[in-house]
Structure 1
Amino acid sequence: MPVPVPAAVAGVLVLAAVATVLVVRSGSDVQAQTGVTTLRGVVGSEKQAFFQDADVKAALRKHGFDVSVDSAGSREIATSVDLGKYDFAFPSSTTAADKVLNRPQVTGKKYAVFSSPLAIATFQPIVDLLSATGIAKQVNGVWYFNIRKYVDLAKAGWRWTNIRGNTTYPVNKRILITTTDPRTSNSAAMFLSIVTYVANHNSVVQSAADEKKVLPLVAPLFVNQGYTDNSSEGPFDDYLSLGMGKSPMVNIYEAQFVDAAVRHKLKPDMVLMYPSPTIQSEHTLVSLNGNGDKLGQLLSTDPELQRLAARHGFRTQDDRLFTNTVNQRKVPVATTILDVANPPTYDTLERLLDAVSKSYR
Structure 2
Amino acid sequence: MSGDNLREEQAIRRTTDHLVQVFAGTHSAEHVERVMQAAYRRFDGLPVRDFVPVMVERIARGELTAQVKAPAPTETAPAETAPAKAAPAEAAAPTAAALSDKSADVRPETTTAARPAALMAKMPSRKVLLPIGLAVAVVVVAAVVVVNLGKEEAPPPPPPLTIVRGVIGSEKKAFFEDPQVVRAFADKGVKVEVESAGSRQIATSMDLSRFDFAFPSSAPAGEYIQRKRKVSTKYTPFSSPMAIATFQPIADLLTTAGVVKQGPVPTFNIGHYLELVTTDAKWDQLTGNSGYRVDKDILISTTDPRTSNSAAMYLAITSYVANGGKVVHGATAEKNVLPLVTQLFTSQGYTDNTSEGPFNEYLTVGMGPSPMVWIYEAQFVDAATRGQIKPGMVLMYPSPTVLSKHTLVPLNASGDRVGRLLSTDPQLQRLAAEHGFRSADAADFAKVAADHQVSVATDLIDVVDIPSYDTLEHLLDSVGKSYG
Q: Normalising by the residue count of structure 1, what TM-score does the alignment of the two structures yield?
A: 0.89
Which whole-Å CA distance do the structure 2 matches of 1:149 and 1:159 have between them? 14
Q: Secondary structure at the match of 2:262?
A: strand
Of the two, which has the highest radius of gyration? 2
Within 5 Å, give how 1:31-110 maps onto structure 2.
33-103=158-228, 105-107=229-231, 109-110=233-234
Which whole-Å CA distance do the structure 1 matches of 2:203 and 2:330 have between them? 24
Match of 1:263 in 2: 386
Match of 1:245 in 2: 368
Pairing 1:125–2:249 present: yes
Match of 2:299 in 1: 176
Match of 2:354 in 1: 231
Closer/same/farther in 2, CA of residues 209 and 113 from structure 1, 3 Å limit: same
AA aligned to 1:60 is F
Which whole-Å CA distance do the structure 1 matches of 2:403 and 2:233 have between them? 21
Q: Secondary structure at the match of 1:245?
A: coil
Deviation digits for residues 176-210 of structure 1, max 9, x if unmatched?
00000011000000110000000011111112111
Q: Which piece of structure 1 moves more, 259-268 or 210-219?
A: 210-219
Asked if the contact 1:45–1:233 (Cα under 8 Å) also holds between the matched residues in 2, the reply is: yes
AA aligned to 2:430 is R
Which whole-Å CA distance do the structure 2 matches of 1:175 and 1:153 have between them? 7
Deviation digits for residues 142-162 of structure 1, max 9, x if unmatched?
011110011111111111012
User: Structure 1 residue 35: deviation in Å?
Assistant: 4.5
Q: Which has the higher strand share?
A: 1
AA aligned to 1:215 is L
Asked if the contact 2:253–2:288 (Cα under 8 Å) also holds between the matched residues in 1, the reply is: no
Which whole-Å CA distance do the structure 2 matches of 1:249 and 1:146 have between them? 14
AA aligned to 2:219 is T
Q: Secondary structure at the match of 1:336?
A: coil
Within 5 Å, give how 1:168-317 maps onto structure 2.
168-317=291-440
Which whole-Å CA distance do the structure 1 matches of 2:277 and 2:156 have between them? 59
Asked if the contact 1:151–1:218 (Cα under 8 Å) also holds between the matched residues in 2, the reply is: no
Match of 1:13 in 2: none
Deviation digits for residues 210-242 of structure 1, max 9, x if unmatched?
111111111100010011000000000000000
Q: Secondary structure at the match of 1:172?
A: coil
Asked if the contact 2:256–2:287 (Cα under 8 Å) also holds between the matched residues in 1, the reply is: no
Which whole-Å CA distance do the structure 2 matches of 1:244 and 1:161 have between them? 14
Which whole-Å CA distance do the structure 2 matches of 1:310 and 1:168 have between them? 35
Q: Which has the higher contact order (CA 8 A, sep 6+)?
A: 1
Closer/same/farther in 2, CA of residues 31 and 124 from structure 1, 3 Å limit: farther
Within 5 Å, give how 1:280-359 maps onto structure 2.
280-359=403-482
Q: Secondary structure at the match of 1:291?
A: helix
User: Structure 1 residue 164: deviation in Å?
Assistant: 2.0
Match of 1:15 in 2: none
Q: Secondary structure at the match of 1:34?
A: coil
Match of 1:139 in 2: 263
Task: Specify every segment of 5 or more residues in structure 1 that has no aligned partner in the other structure, as ranges.
Answer: 1-29
Q: Secondary structure at the match of 1:283?
A: strand
Closer/same/farther in 2, CA of residues 31 and 67 from structure 1, 3 Å limit: farther
Q: Secondary structure at the match of 1:273?
A: strand
Closer/same/farther in 2, CA of residues 108 and 65 from structure 1, 3 Å limit: farther
Task: Specify every segment of 5 or more residues in structure 2 that has no aligned partner in the other structure, as ranges.
Answer: 1-154
User: Structure 1 residue 102: deviation in Å?
Assistant: 2.2
Match of 1:154 in 2: 277
Q: Normalising by the residue count of structure 2, what TM-score does the alignment of the two structures yield?
A: 0.67
Which whole-Å CA distance do the structure 1 matches of 2:335 and 2:231 have between them? 35
User: Structure 1 residue 32: deviation in Å?
Assistant: 7.8
